[in-house]
Amino acid sequence: MTNQAHIIDTIIKERRSIKKFKSDALSTDEIIELLEVAKWAPNHKLTEPWRFLLFAEEGKETFIQAYTKSQMGADQTVPEKAQKKAAYFRQIPIHLVVVMPEHPRQKTWDEDYGAVSAMIQNFQLAAWARGIGMIWRTNDWIYDPIFREAIGVKDGEKIIGTLMIGYADFIPEAKERTSIKEKLTIINE
């Protein structure tokens, strides 16, 4: 195996989803640099079907307020569980929301979803190679019109995920993966 192959295999296998972050700041320039790498993902007809909302420093409050607003009960109070989650989100250096246009044609929609997912994985791997961790989240509230509107997602756009990003404070053990032989049918005659 070449050294290059070994490096990329290791990054792919050792990347983990990170939930505990150090308080060390991450600059928006660093995120932009990583996105400049990630954008080299395959995308059919080079439509580059992604858009990003980057919440950093004071701007994180817009993301957090959007979340708490979406969790409010009829009495306009934020449940304790959501308040705790908001406090946790506040400690995370960067929140990046990845958005895709919802194309009316199913084929294009599927291709776009595939392209954005490939781009996000590129982003995760490029970040991991630099010691930066994240978690890709698709919680119920990303579908909530209250949350969407409060962060500036337009009608006809789909949130593919919220990426919560920072330097890893704890790297969890890898969860086992099934042998590919159990998932593979070889047809060779």
Ligand X SMILES: Cc1cc2nc3c(=O)[nH]c(=O)nc-3n(C[C@H](O)[C@H](O)[C@H](O)COP(=O)(O)O)c2cc1C
One-character DSSP codes across 27-66:
-HHHHHHHHHHHTTS--GGG----EEEEEEGGGHHHHHHH
Cα dihedral 134, 135, 136, 139 in deg (nearest 10): -140
Least distance to ligand X from the beta carbon of 139, Å? 5
- The smaller minimum CB distance to ligand X, of residues 34 and 168, is found at 168
- The smaller minimum CB distance to ligand X, of residues 62 and 121, is found at 121
- The smaller minimum CB distance to ligand X, of residues 45 and 130, is found at 130
- The smaller minimum CB distance to ligand X, of residues 109 and 136, is found at 136
Pairing of strands 132-137, 94-101: unpaired
- The smaller minimum CB distance to ligand X, of residues 91 and 139, is found at 139
Binding mask 2-31 for ligand X (x = CB under 6 A): --------------xx--------------
Among 99, 137, 108, 97, CA closest to 43: 108
Least distance to ligand X from the beta carbon of 140, Å? 9
- The smaller minimum CB distance to ligand X, of residues 47 and 138, is found at 138
Give the C-alpha separation, 34 to 41, whole Å.
12
- Residue 84: CA atoms inside 13 Å, Cβ hemisphere, count? 3
Q: Could you say which residues in the range 107-166 bind ligand X, by CB under 6 A?
A: 135-139, 161
Least distance to ligand X from the beta carbon of 188, Å? 31
Number of residues that bind ligand X (CB under 6 A): 9
- Residue 156: CA atoms inside 13 Å, Cβ hemisphere, count? 5
Binding mask 57-76 for ligand X (x = CB under 6 A): --------------------
Among 105, 107, 175, 183, binds ligand X (CB under 6 A): 175
Which residues of this protein are in contact with ligand X, per CB under 6 A?
16-17, 135-139, 161, 175
